[in-house]
Amino acid sequence: MSITTTSFGIEEALSQLGLNEINNGTSTGSENFASGATIASYSPVDGSLIGKVVTTTPEDYEKVMETATTAFKQWRRIPAPQRGEIVRQFGNKLRELKEPLGKLVSFEMGKSYQEGLGEVQEMIDICDFAVGLSRQLHGLTMHSERPGHRMYEQYHPLGVVGIISAFNFPVAVWSWNTALAWVCGDVCVWKPSEKTPLTGVACQNIIAEILKENNMPEGISCLINGDYKVGELMTHDKRIPLVSATGSIRMGKIVAQAVAARLGKSLLELGGNNAIIVTPDADIKMTVIGAVFGAVGTAGQRCTSTRRLIIHESIYDQVKEAITNAYAQIRIGNPLDQHNHVGPLIDTDAVNKYLNALEEAKNEGGTILVEGGVLQGEGYESGCYVKPAIVEAKNSFNIVQEETFAPILYLLKYSGGIENAIEQQNGVVQGLSSAIMTNNLREAEHFLSANGSDCGIANVNIGTSGAEIGGAFGGEKETGGGRESGSDAWKVYMRRQTNTINYTTELPLAQGIKFDL
């Protein structure tokens, strides 16, 4: 990998993360396996070339898999609390490198520096969670119908876990998977987004150092780089029992079919088309804060970003005025400048999709309340900075039914009771995150009931964006049904086994079956 000179003081961060000292980005530790073409990482902040990473060829991939499968044979025999100790050390190292890694996330992906720091904090939090979990990988004991028998369940490591992550959370989602997989006794092969490869290399450097210090096999954590063709190597590989993939619905369907064809397991975290319902009993000030951050945070490039605001007709004009006034205060610019609220989109392809979505919304009859557009001039040379836009629309619009990864907020109106708002909210194919703003207990409980939100995440009086690692993260319908991070999400990384022990001198059969010889 080659690193170019960059601005905004990023050079020191790159040095602290070891990105000036390695040859390529597919190292699994001390060995380098990459021999393919290079992919370049350009910062959407200023358009500068940050570095080039060598991609993984099929031959390189085989070497990586050999390293990973060999490491698994040793790693699975290490007691879970000792595996947790490795994760604890990894979390502590992340604490030391939080600022440079957060800065790199901001510069390579384009989210604000505060959000970059927050993403690294998520990594630290999941490490803490996983350390405690390493002593709680519990099974169940149950009574046998046969006298002198004991039955119980236990969980064993799966093997090699394949991870495909997206550009918008280039480090956090990987850590959600790896921290849990590692304490469960699995090893991991990670393909980060080709749009943010350097953050992947930085994370690999950090864990490789920890593994080396503890005399652990380097193959516990492996990194491969490249486009979708590299990802296909994992999805079709029978040596990988679980593929965890984060990305678009289109990508997820391809991964799911490929993995299912070989009877593997897939954990899918796909698109979101998230709505906030605003009832007549809502706190308007709270609503505005939650909706604006949800819509413009990370420039609308979160899977949990707020896309739709479903407002009761009795307060529609009041909320519309408050939201549009709030948008006038948004500062757009270099995300490393903490005075700015919104940074750039990831690349010019994303900009074009944003512009096309606004045009389609107008063609379908939408009314532009806050004009969008691409920013130009000093500080916007990358061509990736756009204005957050607000559009009055209808839920039935084709463009509203889609997820546009950009800061476009659709205002929708509902009348009557809360059931009508929930019908609109659920009336999309995605089912990730949802929220209701209300001080009415009955409305809140209805929203959380079986007749309410059909999403994997349902919030009351907070926005759709900003999940904590303690709860299971994921969504329903075409969002994929996967669950990562907290709660009992660890079980997906393990295989369940039922055991029966006979401690008598006889062999009674279940269901009272007689079989005498």
- pLDDT digit string (tens) for 342-361? 999 999 999 999 999 999 99
Q: Is the pLDDT reported for residue 485 higher than 60?
A: yes
**Amino acid (one-letter) located at 235:** T
Name the catalytic one among 119, 122, 194, 269. Answer: 269
| 180 within 8 A of 493, measured Cβ to Cβ | yes
Best CA proximity match to 480, nearest among 155, 307, 177, 257 = 257
In angstroms, rounded to a whole number, what is the distance separating the alpha carbons of residues 206 and 195? 20
Name the catalytic one among 222, 303, 384, 455. Answer: 303
On the 0-12 / 13-18 / 19+ scale of CB atoms within 10 A, 121 is middle
Q: Residue 146: its pLDDT value, please?
A: 95
In angstroms, rounded to a whole number, what is the distance separating the alpha carbons of residues 43 and 315? 42
Q: Residue 2: its pLDDT value, please?
A: 47
Mean pLDDT of 7-25: 74
Mean pLDDT of 239-246: 98
> 17-34 pLDDT, tens per residue?
999 754 333 333 334 556
Give bridge partners of residue 476 from the DSSP assignment.
Answer: 431
| Beta-strand relationship, 149-157 and 494-502 | antiparallel
Q: In the annotation, is 269 catalytic?
A: yes
Q: Residue 7: its pLDDT value, please?
A: 59
Q: Residue 24: its pLDDT value, please?
A: 37
Confidence of residue 5 (pLDDT cuts 50, 70, 90): very low
> Residue 111 is encoded by which pair of tokens?
């989210």
| 431 within 8 A of 270, measured Cβ to Cβ | no
Q: Residue 34: its pLDDT value, please?
A: 67
> 197-221 pLDDT, tens per residue?
999 999 999 999 999 999 999 999 9
| 195 within 8 A of 70, measured Cβ to Cβ | no
What DSSP letter does each residue of 296-358 carry, written as one string?
HGGGG-STT-EEEEEEETTTHHHHHHHHHHHHTT--BS-TTSTT-SB---SSHHHHHHHHHHH
Torsion of CA 475, 476, 480, 486, to 10 degrees: 40
Q: In the annotation, is 222 catalytic?
A: no
Q: What is the mean pLDDT of the chain?
A: 95
In angstroms, rounded to a whole number, what is the distance separating the alpha carbons of residues 116 and 8? 15
Torsion of CA 211, 215, 218, 220, to 10 degrees: -70
In angstroms, rounded to a whole number, what is the distance separating the alpha carbons of residues 299 and 294? 9
> 248-270 pLDDT, tens per residue?
999 999 999 999 999 999 999 99
Q: How many Å separate Cα 517 from the centre of its chain? A: 58
Q: Is the pLDDT reported for residue 413 higher than 80?
A: yes
pTM of the model: 0.95
Q: Residue 516: its pLDDT value, please?
A: 81
Best CA proximity match to 74, nearest among 213, 162, 186, 196 = 186
Q: Residue 22: its pLDDT value, please?
A: 41
> 133-167 pLDDT, tens per residue?
999 999 999 999 999 999 999 999 999 999 999 99
| 23 within 8 A of 32, measured Cβ to Cβ | yes
Mean pLDDT of 437-460: 98
